[in-house]
Amino acid sequence: MATNNKALVNSILKNTKQIADFSKVLSFGNYFSPELARSGITQQTERYFAPQIDTAIQGVRQGFIGRGLSRSGLRGQAEQGTLADYADQLQTMNEQLYNTREGEARTNYSDLQKQYEKAPTSYKGPKGTTTPGYQVETPQMYQTTQDIYGGAGTQGTGGFSYLQALRDYQKKQSPDFYKKYYGN
């Protein structure tokens, strides 16, 4: 009798479709890419802060030039202080936006998992893409190294931006932060 039950159970298992774990159907790593999220957020926050940084640094420079201190070490300290303030604001905004996007992705992923668990055999899931992966590059905001220091550019007439000065400041202050948001 036990042999008949065992054979019956084996035949039922062979004819039953096995349900895969949802993480094998769609892993969270394939659904949400931290690298792409961080690079998109970084570009978004830089576009937001770039005009503010330019205005603030130009204001600092004009203030020192108005007092006849165009080559003062105090001016450099004031510019570094301004960059430090904006670097803190940029880092805070980056972290907040990243946490928001990751939270939204986790919520959406759990909704997909619930749909899968309701009907695992008929679940279609999100449509895939045939677009190949791509590498995000940080855009250059100036054309020559002379532009960083306010000199005339030697390669055309690109507009100067102090955004690169902010990036250089971040790189010096926290290499880990820089690598996290900009890569190597």
Per-residue pLDDT, averaged over 33-58, amounts to: 87
* 109 in any annotated domain: yes
Q: Cα(19)–Cα(56) distance, rounded to whole angstroms?
A: 59
Question: What per-residue confidence (pLDDT) applies to 105?
Answer: 92
> In this model, does residue 80 exceed pLDDT 80?
yes
Q: Cα(50)–Cα(30) distance, rounded to whole angstroms?
A: 32
Question: What per-residue confidence (pLDDT) applies to 127?
Answer: 65
* 59 in any annotated domain: yes
* 157 in any annotated domain: yes
Angle at 169 between CA 167 and CA 171, to 5 degrees: 70
Written as one string, the DSSP assignment of 116-178 is HHH-TTT---S----PPP----PPPS-SSHHHHTTPPPSSS-PPP-THHHHHHHHHHH-HHHH
> In this model, does residue 184 exceed pLDDT 90?
no
Per-residue pLDDT, averaged over 33-40, amounts to: 88
* 6 in any annotated domain: no
Tell me 182's DSSP state: H
Per-residue pLDDT, averaged over 129-154, amounts to: 47
Taking only Cα atoms into account, the Rg of the chain, rounded to an integer number of angstroms, comes to 27
* Top-confidence range, 22-26, 56-60, 102-106: 102-106
Per-residue burial over 57-91, b if 16 or more Cβ lie within 10 Å, else e, is: beebbeebeeeeeeeeeebeebbeebbeebbeebb
Structure confidence at residue 2 as a pLDDT band (50, 70, 90): low
* 36 in any annotated domain: yes
Residue predicted with more confidence, 163 or 50: 50
* 129 in any annotated domain: no
Residue predicted with more confidence, 130 or 87: 87
> In this model, does residue 156 exceed pLDDT 50?
no
User: What is the total count of domains within the chain?
Assistant: 1
* 15 in any annotated domain: no
Residue predicted with more confidence, 128 or 71: 71
Per-residue pLDDT, averaged over 74-101, amounts to: 91
Q: Which domain holds residue 156?
A: 30-119+140-182
* 155 in any annotated domain: yes
